[in-house]
Amino acid sequence: MDMDLVVIFAFILIAATMVLRFATAAHKRAVDHEERRLELKARRAEAESGMGGAHDRKLEERVRVLERIATDSNHALASQIEELRSLDAIERGQAVTEHAR
* Among 36, 35, 54, 57, residue whose Cα is nearest residue 46: 54
57 and 95 together in one domain: yes
Number of domains in the chain: 2
For the chain, helix, strand, coil in percent to 5 are 95, 0, 5
Cα–Cα distance, 33 to 56 (Å, whole number): 28
85 and 46 together in one domain: no
Are the CB atoms for 93 and 85 separated by under 8 Å? Answer: no
61 and 45 together in one domain: no
**Taking 70 as the threshold, does the pLDDT of residue 1 lie above it?**
no
70 and 46 together in one domain: no
60 and 34 together in one domain: no
Tell me the whole-structure pTM to 2 decimals: 0.43
What would the pLDDT profile of 42-77 be if each residue is shown by its tens digit?
A: 888 877 776 556 677 788 888 887 777 777 666 677
Which domain does 5 fall in, by range? 1-51
Predicted confidence at residue 94, as pLDDT, reads: 65
Residue 40's CB is within 10 A of a number of other CB atoms, namely: 10
Predicted confidence at residue 17, as pLDDT, reads: 97
60 and 42 together in one domain: no
Q: Which amino acid is at 98?
A: E
What would the pLDDT profile of 15-26 be if each residue is shown by its tens digit?
A: 999 999 999 999
Nearest 5°: phi and psi at 72? -65, 155
